[in-house]
Amino acid sequence: MILKLKVLLSPFIYLFLIFNIPPAQAVDLCIEGKKQLSRDYQLMQVNGGLLALMIQTDSLKNSASLGGQIDDKLLRMITFFETICRPGSKANPTIEVYGQIQKGIDRGNFFLNRNLGKTTPDEYLNEMVSFNLDLDKFWERYGF
């Protein structure tokens, strides 16, 4: 009976451990996480980010503000992560939050590295709008 109970509860225990990081691990996540997020974002911004890409592409120039919005939202996500890592913060940094921010930056890099010749400008813009809406969902989830 006890063995069955252990087997049934073990997935819940693992989920609890994954999403409730002990303080020592939270410090490591904050120290290394902030460095990694900032580094990845800076690499994305080397040539001006999505805003510059859209300004430099004739077929996307009229929608360049969308690229700027996405760049800004990604930067705000990093700032949010840095804020929840501060001592005394009411929110706790989790691997889930870190992962969502990292996925956002990775998705931004995907747009930067994408070959625009294989995609129509309308398809590209539709995907950018969808990305922007996904970033808004992140903010809604965390109270912004």
pTM: 0.77
| Residue 37 contacts residue 78 (beta carbons within 8 Å) | yes
Averaged pLDDT score across all residues of the chain: 82
CA 112 to chain centre: 15
Q: What is the pLDDT of residue 24?
A: 45
CA 100 to chain centre: 4
Residue-level pLDDT at 10: 52
In this predicted model, what pLDDT tens digit does every residue of 28-55 receive, in sequence order? 889 999 999 999 999 999 888 999 999 9
